[in-house]
Structure 1
Amino acid sequence: MNNINLITKATTLSQGDKYQVREIAAIDLGSNSFHMIVARIVNGSIQILSRLKQKVQLAKGLDQNGVLDQDAITRGVNCLALFAERLQGFQAENVNVVGTYTLRSAVNKAEFLRQAKAVFPYPIDIISGQREAKMIYAGVSHTQPESGRKLVIDIGGGSTEMIIGEDFDPILAESRNMGCVSFAKQFFPNGKISRENFQQARLTALSRIADLAASYRQLGWQYVLGSSGTIKTVHQVITATLDSDGIITAGRLDFLIERTLKATHFDNLKLAGLNEERADVFVPGLAILSAVFDTYQIEQMRYSDGALREGVMYSLDKNFQVKNIRQRTAEALAEQFNIDRIQAERVSKTAVQLAQQFIAWQANEFATEMQEILLWAALLHEVGIVINHKNMQKHSAYILSNMELPGFDKEQQRLLSTLVRLQINGFHLDDIAQFSRYTPQDILALVRLLRLAILLNRSRQATEQTDKIALKTHRTLWQLYFENSYLERNPLVQQDLKLEQRYLIEIGLDLAIE
């Protein structure tokens, strides 16, 4: 881990420009569902106020000649009327609405727009497949912590988008006409499931993206992320039936396919984690996803909360492009909760100083990630003080576990919340929940590092700074070494360390002070 970069992050909290509060809305008129996000921009970060989703299934109303039938138009217009009620008072420049595959394919899209205008006073931008792909990539990039090169896959109702990008910039973006609603209509008439129609759907998907395989593999990627409903549902089924990490692999897909093909109809498909409302699009979506895995030889994919609607939302303001998404999130929280930044900087510097000396990570592949989460925990451990100083650690944990934190996935958010909850007072080893990514030993080490960093700076402005604290660890025994007479000059620190020793002894751990 580059600790200089971590210290830089710690010392530059909220040093940028201030932003005025602005309410915005982003609407995605998808082939399966219409989505709306209403949010406000505060201190350079987005706070989600509400999310609305309506299953419209426009693609079901699109015939072979590209004509959208009146029933589908009516479903879409009724949904837009509902959205318009929520948007009363919004200026047009603060509302961004995009239409995707079905609307760009419909030869009578003008009729849809005419009827929509009667109930919905905001302009609708029907975007190309490539622009949709780039917006999806923006939504994923602005909400996920990974930096570097990413392959992003989005399986929608009418089309599938595949993008390779570096940080915030898409390099290669493609959209192909294959989606879970259109494939359900084409290959699974009346909801019937068979091995033959599943294989036909899968082979068709393979044929539509085969020409992309060489160029995508040549570019390569470090991470694979999937967004939107189909991949979210596959992630949820894997989480419920196979592994709590929810990671999608080729082997796990094969398992789900075999389980799925035991059913003969969408109505009798029962899988843990599968919402009944998505059964009709799950099977064709699974066929497309399987084809995508084969074409690009994907080893594993992680689900991303960010998607097209988030990309639409972030396009409303040019000030969001911060390379480290967690840093942007932390800056906004620091401003929102009026954190004592000087104290946060003291604690974070000590946490990094101690973490540099800890080398006994069990899951070494996550060491850098865990140390960065430790930094953000050190910076944000006092957010709960706005509620009450008493039980501040519980208030802080509640805030951090329930807020939307772009840049932190669910596991990282749980870890952040766990660390701040255990920052002071006694605790039990059972208080550390099970994680799919992090080991209990590593989480315990992070807890101990944060507790020591806070303890050594508890006197706040009266704290004597030192860069000569040495930490040595051996299993359950940790040894702290201070410069000569430091503890004599800081009797409150010495007293707090003795109390910490007692807390640790109660759970079978040792802390030696020299």
Structure 2
Amino acid sequence: MSNETENSRHIAAIDLGSNSFHMVVAKIVNNDLQLISKHKQRVHLASGLDDDRILSDEAIQRGLDCLAMFAERIQDFKEEDVRIAATHTLRQAINRNQFLSRAHQVIPYPIEVIPGVEEARLIYLGVAHTQPQAESMLVVDIGGGSTEIIIGQGFEPQLVNSLQMGCVSYTERFFNKGKLTEKNFYKASLAAEQKLENLSAQYKKRGWEKAFGSSGTAKAIREAIVGLGHDDGIITQDRLDSLIQACLKANNLNELDVKNLSDDRKPVFVAGLAIMHAVFKSLKIKEMHFSDGALREGLLYEVEDTFKYDDIRIRTTENLANKHYVDLAHAHNVKALASEFFVQSASQLNLPKRTTDELFSLLKWAALLHEVGLSMSLQGYHKHSAYILRYTNMPGFNSEQQLVISTLARFHRKALKLGEMNEFTIYKKKHIIQLIRILRLAVVLNGQRNDSPLPSVSIDISKDDEWSILCEDKDWLIDNKLLEADLNNEKGYWESAGWTLNIAHQPKPNTTEE
């Protein structure tokens, strides 16, 4: 970092994949992104995941050792200049928090566990930024545990899917102990076709101008095709068939005699090839080019606001609100008051500076979406909202951000059973509780759902668990008994959680009580 000039800035993105961990470092100079270095380490994380979805200590240690090496390269980077995303294996591992907490001791930057559709969106973004623009693109990324398939135009993904099939998981499932036969190869390919069965028609109907393959499997297939004498490296069905026949000459995965295929890729190559064969067959792909850009490049371009074409999360929340017929006028009123309370009390909330802006954004999105559960039922709708926001596809949000929004929706009303709160890895529980308090007050004060403006109200935090609602109008509740009853109920909920809520009169400045 000592050579960094005044008009440049270094950023990094790390992809914690199921087979390999990747890091890319770039420099921003005059709004231009220049790649400086790429680093790759095979960690075979997925092979350490057992049938009960427990990640082994050995696999965890391999991952930590790799992160320790990466940490040396970016030790002077600011937190906002580093983005780390974990994919399929850590999505699946039920003990992922064990890995994440230990990883934070090794590399002190937040690690996001991203949903499959978010992984797909970022992969597409990485390809789109590193390829000449086409009318429309198909992108296929076969990873260790999942396969992402995306159609988009320009920088906008339009059809996005993430399927649970990858070169590591399919190796373990179909090529036990490395045994390779024509039968188990086509059995693996057929299983992949079945995964694609319900979406292939939609992709073929939409169509694309150019197809790209990204990440390790596509790269290995491209290199093997070059080894077969096709110097352009373009992947076609005929060339795949030739490559399959070359592979089937071996009886074991480690005995593959394929030019340009590295020894460490051999154990998972055939499974990836079977999946690619199925993708070509199902989608009727004529030819595919390899793209160097993938998830890590997508992350890299999103680190710097200069390269964001718009905030996908705005569209996500708007689409979700419309889908569930949210009362947008009411939602915006709640959002406005919650925002006002957050700004008023920011200095008293004791939120960490590095995450204050992000927590503020999550609060506002939760305020807009807290009533999505009404589309299912009025009774217990806050729980329905929490479920929808936890498990629906929300492009632009990582798993923990989605969990925060879901948690805020879950606890925006009724009993505060805080023992039911999930654990967080990027954010702290005590900070999420502060947001819950703000959202609850914004909701209860807007509970009448009428056009009558609220009097001027503010909040004050005398100590962490004691909050006060202050109003300049000392008679504001006299004419609104329903709101008074709602606030008294809310005070009861706070008391049950060990908190205190006061309602007090605050005279206007430069005035005195009569």
| TM-score grouping bracket, smaller chain normalisation | 0.5 to 0.7
Q: After superposition, what is the alpha-carbon deviation per residue over 1:428-474, rounded to whole angstroms, capped at 9, x for unaligned? A: xxxxxxxxxxxxxxxxxxxxxxxxxxxxxxxxxxxxxxxxxxxxxxx
Confirm whether residue 137 of structure 1 aligns to residue 124 of structure 2.
yes
Counterpart residue number, 2:68: 81
For 1:226 and 1:43, locate their aligned partners in 2 and report how far apart those are by CA, in whole Å: 31
Aligned-partner residue type, residue 201 of structure 1: A
Equivalent residues of 2:134, 2:209 under 8 A apart: no
SS in 2 for 1:139: helix
- TM superposition shift of 1:146: 3.0
For 2:182 and 2:175, locate their aligned partners in 1 and report how far apart those are by CA, in whole Å: 11
Equivalent residues of 2:18, 2:145 under 8 A apart: yes
For 1:114 and 1:149, locate their aligned partners in 2 and report how far apart those are by CA, in whole Å: 41
- TM superposition shift of 1:87: 1.1
Q: How many residues align?
A: 305
Question: What are the ranges of 5 or more consecutive residues in structure 1 without an aligned counterpart?
Answer: 1-18, 323-514
Counterpart residue number, 1:314: 301
**Aligned Cα RMSD in Å?**
1.4
Counterpart residue number, 1:124: 111
TM-score under structure 2 normalisation?
A: 0.58
- TM superposition shift of 1:321: 5.9
1:251 to 238, 242, 249: 238
Counterpart residue number, 1:263: 250
SS in 2 for 1:276: coil
Structure showing greater relative contact order (alpha-carbon pairs closer than 8 Å, 6 or more residues apart): 1
For 1:42 and 1:113, locate their aligned partners in 2 and report how far apart those are by CA, in whole Å: 33
Confirm whether residue 161 of structure 1 aligns to residue 148 of structure 2.
yes
Equivalent residues of 1:168, 1:321 under 8 A apart: no
Equivalent residues of 1:151, 1:164 under 8 A apart: yes
2:226 to 236, 239, 252: 239
Counterpart residue number, 1:285: 272
Counterpart residue number, 1:52: 39
- TM superposition shift of 1:318: 2.8
TM-score under structure 1 normalisation?
A: 0.58
Equivalent residues of 1:45, 1:320 under 8 A apart: no
Counterpart residue number, 2:199: 212
For 1:70 and 1:217, locate their aligned partners in 2 and report how far apart those are by CA, in whole Å: 43
For 2:42 and 2:220, locate their aligned partners in 1 and report how far apart those are by CA, in whole Å: 15
Counterpart residue number, 1:296: 283
For 1:316 and 1:117, locate their aligned partners in 2 and report how far apart those are by CA, in whole Å: 19
Superposition pairs for residues 359-378 of structure 1, below 5 Å?
A: none
Equivalent residues of 2:126, 2:301 under 8 A apart: yes
- TM superposition shift of 1:312: 0.6
Superposition pairs for residues 160-179 of structure 1, below 5 Å?
A: 160-179=147-166
* Cα gap change, 1:61 to 1:168, in 2 (>3 Å): same
Confirm whether residue 226 of structure 1 aligns to residue 213 of structure 2.
yes
Counterpart residue number, 1:11: none
Equivalent residues of 1:241, 1:273 under 8 A apart: no
SS in 1 for 2:25: strand
Aligned-partner residue type, residue 111 of structure 1: Q
- TM superposition shift of 1:223: 0.6
- TM superposition shift of 1:61: 0.7
SS in 2 for 1:28: strand
- TM superposition shift of 1:23: 0.5
Aligned-partner residue type, residue 223 of structure 1: K
SS in 2 for 1:311: helix
Aligned-partner residue type, residue 180 of structure 1: C
Counterpart residue number, 1:366: none
Q: After superposition, what is the alpha-carbon deviation per residue over 1:15-34, rounded to whole angstroms, capped at 9, x for unaligned? A: xxxx9411100000000000
Confirm whether residue 273 of structure 1 aligns to residue 260 of structure 2.
yes
**Aligned-residue identity in percent:** 50
2:28 to 33, 37, 41: 41
Equivalent residues of 2:302, 2:308 under 8 A apart: no
2:98 to 111, 114, 128: 111
For 2:303 and 2:176, locate their aligned partners in 1 and report how far apart those are by CA, in whole Å: 40
SS in 2 for 1:75: helix
- Larger mean Cα displacement after TM superposition, 202-211 or 94-103: 202-211
Equivalent residues of 1:32, 1:56 under 8 A apart: yes
Confirm whether residue 101 of structure 1 aligns to residue 88 of structure 2.
yes
Q: After superposition, what is the alpha-carbon deviation per residue over 1:357-409, rounded to whole angstroms, capped at 9, x for unaligned? A: xxxxxxxxxxxxxxxxxxxxxxxxxxxxxxxxxxxxxxxxxxxxxxxxxxxxx
Confirm whether residue 21 of structure 1 aligns to residue 8 of structure 2.
yes
Equivalent residues of 1:260, 1:283 under 8 A apart: yes
For 2:161 and 2:25, locate their aligned partners in 1 and report how far apart those are by CA, in whole Å: 28
Aligned-partner residue type, residue 212 of structure 1: L
- TM superposition shift of 1:148: 1.4
SS in 2 for 1:25: strand
Aligned-partner residue type, residue 242 of structure 1: G
- TM superposition shift of 1:261: 0.5
For 2:249 and 2:228, locate their aligned partners in 1 and report how far apart those are by CA, in whole Å: 16
Equivalent residues of 1:230, 1:285 under 8 A apart: yes
- TM superposition shift of 1:147: 2.1
* Cα gap change, 1:296 to 1:260, in 2 (>3 Å): same
For 1:294 and 1:242, locate their aligned partners in 2 and report how far apart those are by CA, in whole Å: 23
1:186 to 160, 173, 178: 173
